[in-house]
Amino acid sequence: MANQDMARGDDDLDAFLDEDSSFHRAIIEGGGNAILVTFFDTIRDRHHRMMARSVWHRPGYSERVVAEHGALVDALERSDTDTFRALLSEHFSGIHGRDATAFSGTATTFGP
């Protein structure tokens, strides 16, 4: 989490995307499902493209991603599966769902 937040603060989009993928892969690996890990590996490039577009066009998006990832880690560290499940559902429907359809056309700090 600290590395992703540092990349965000440094305006390093490539590092932010790499850390984002690493976070997602670690969560998936933690579930112990090798098939799902392999599947994620096959869509990693697509995930990078989706995240790059989202971060570029949505002010505040990268901060929200880092905050939501932090909350997910906190729930896991407390072994609070109910909270983790609720936060994960919110993360998917917000970051990767309905909120992801509205691009403002203005760049975040990850721009030239």
pLDDT in tens, the chain (112 residues): 788 889 888 888 899 999 999 999 999 999 999 999 999 999 999 988 888 888 777 778 888 899 999 999 999 999 999 999 999 999 888 776 655 444 444 444 444 4
pLDDT for the residue 24: 93
**CA 95, CA 36: separation in Å to the nearest integer?**
20
Q: Can you give the C-alpha Rg of the chain in angstroms?
A: 14
Grouping H, G, I as helix, E, B as strand and the rest as coil, residue 65 is helix
Residues in the chain: 112
Host H or E run for residue 32? none
pLDDT for the residue 60: 82
